[in-house]
Amino acid sequence: MKELEFDGVVIGGGAAGMAAALEIEAAGFSCAIIEREDHLGGILMQCIHNGFGLQEFKEELTGPEFAERFIEKIIGSKIAVYLNTTVTDLNTEVNSREAPKELFCVSPDLGVLHIHTRTVVLAMGCRERNRGNVRIPGSRPAGVYTAGLAQRLVNIEGYIPGKEIVVIGSGDIGLIMARRMSWVGCKVKAVVEIMPYPSGLTRNIVQCLRDFDIPLYLSSQTTNIFGNDRVEGVEVTPMENGVPVPEKRFRIDCDTVLLSVGLVPENELSKAAGVELNGTTNGPIVDSSLMTNMNGIFACGNVLHVHDLVDWVAEESRRAGRYAAEWLNGKRIRNQIRARAGSNVRYVNPGKLNPLADNQMYLRSMAVKNDAVLELRLNNRVIKSIKKNHVQPSEMINLTISPGDLEGFSLDADSILEFSIV
């Protein structure tokens, strides 16, 4: 077993992990990235479409181009990178004042690694929900894929999974794959969405569906998948007021089904280490410094909550890396106030604010609404109102809460800042 020691360890080598690691190293600390794949860049490496980097680099890039910007910085740094290496255990109950955390990792090339570290940044990303998660009935034929797997098959492996496609769910990966499958000569018969509104970004609805005349069935439930050896079709049942209307059901013939039914933060390792998870986001509960309930363990990117844009992942993860470095320097944040979701808000991240610093907050609406107002209530008193032309669940809202927003108000350990959409 190989013994290693670093000031900080980042688990995950995607955009989040690389951004966080670069900040830790820039502060003068030794750092390592542990990545289970054989390359850095994460899911970006199979996202060959453009649309990345407009905020981060002020230019439009493909996924691999976005990742390459960070990979070049990693290569030019002193950060140790362990590829094809999986963390099997994260232990925080270590009898060492210098390196009070340890990780056990396995690698086919290096064997077992035993790493001691003072701080850990969780940046493992997320995974796709599958057919079992949404309980679609029917037989179990070949030809059912998650949209991300299909993306890898087409863009990395060079395989086309089918010829006549139905996409279930209107998440961004599914929308992008509807366009991608059209580009390679397949017929995308429909995108079926159970909600009365799309799950993906508006720009992807326009660029991936409308531009290719692909039908989008909203308020429609997939109630059966037909086929024995191979998919032969799907049954779609329209819904009215959230209730299926069986007499209006219809069949769409196809040979392939792509599932785009949501993403889930990859937090099995976090949970096993004792990190407290948010029941709404399935990511860790963090304070204003993006630190979890475990001292010295931070979380960022899609392992914390699923983001719309990788640009926001990078921004959040840089802050996580800076906070981890500050932790290594002995800085501790005192007297934080709680943040919580109010009416029409699904969640707010992070779960606490530092009243003495700027706080970058992320939240998601639970409603589709034009001319909305985001209200901030401190102890049930409105302290700020922000007009929003349009809000919808698929588009995350981010805003900065500064000390000036809280100035003049009495703050204590019981203070709560509530975010509501009216």
Write the pLDDT tens digit of every residue in 166-183. 999 999 999 999 999 999
| Residues sharing a CB contact under 8 Å with residue 217, sequence separation 6 or more, in sequence order | 190, 191, 192, 193, 236, 238
Residues 139 and 284 in one domain: no
Q: Is the pLDDT of residue 411 over 90?
A: no
Residues 230 and 342 in one domain: no
- The model's confidence at residue 312, banded by pLDDT at 50, 70 and 90, is very high
Range of the domain at 194: 130-261
Integer distance in angstroms from the first to the last C-alpha of the chain? 57
Residues 23 and 66 in one domain: yes
Residues 269 and 123 in one domain: yes
pTM: 0.94
Residues 218 and 96 in one domain: no
- The model's confidence at residue 286, banded by pLDDT at 50, 70 and 90, is very high
Contact 311, 13 (CB under 8 A): no
- Of 328, 353, 371, the residue that ends a domain is 328
Q: Which tokens belong to 248?
A: 């209006």
Q: Is the pLDDT of residue 277 over 80?
A: yes
| Residues sharing a CB contact under 8 Å with residue 238, sequence separation 6 or more, in sequence order | 217, 219, 220, 221, 244, 245, 248, 249
Over residues 65-87, mean pLDDT = 97
The more confident residue out of 168 and 414 is 168
As a whole number, the mean pLDDT across the chain is: 95
What's the CA angle centered on 143, arms 137 and 146, to 5 degrees? Answer: 75
Q: Is 36 exposed, middle or buried (0-12, 13-18, 19+ CB in 10 A)?
A: middle
Residues 18 and 136 in one domain: no
Q: For residue 79, what is the domain's CATH number? A: 3.50.50.60
Q: Helix 15-26 vs helix 63-75: angle between axes, to the nearest 10 degrees?
A: 30
Q: Is the pLDDT of residue 255 over 90?
A: yes
Quick one: pLDDT at residue 33? 98
Q: What residue ranges in 126-219 does DSSP mark as E strands? A: 126-128, 144-146, 164-168, 187-192, 216-217
Helix, coil or strand: residue 379: coil
Quick one: pLDDT at residue 134? 83
Contact 169, 193 (CB under 8 A): yes
Helix, coil or strand: residue 41: coil
Question: Burial code of 138-161, b = ≥16 C-beta within 10 A, e = fewer?
Answer: beebebbbbbbbbbbebbeeeeeb
Residues 182 and 150 in one domain: yes
- The model's confidence at residue 380, banded by pLDDT at 50, 70 and 90, is confident
What is the per-residue pLDDT across 5-35, written as a single tens digit (0 to 9) for each?
Answer: 999 999 999 999 999 999 999 999 999 999 9
For the chain, the domain total comes to 3
Residues 257 and 303 in one domain: no
Quick one: pLDDT at residue 86? 97
Q: What residue ranges in 22-110 does DSSP mark as E strands? A: 31-34, 50-52, 61-62, 80-82, 86-91, 101-107
What is the per-residue pLDDT across 90-101, written as a single tens digit (0 to 9) for each?
Answer: 998 877 767 799
Over residues 343-355, mean pLDDT = 96
Quick one: pLDDT at residue 243? 94
Cα dihedral 158, 160, 166, 168, rounded to 10, equals -30
Residue 364 pairs with which residues in a beta bridge?
347
| 101-107 and 233-240 strand pairing | unpaired
Quick one: pLDDT at residue 132? 81
Give start and end residues of each alpha helix (H) in 125-168: 131-134, 147-152
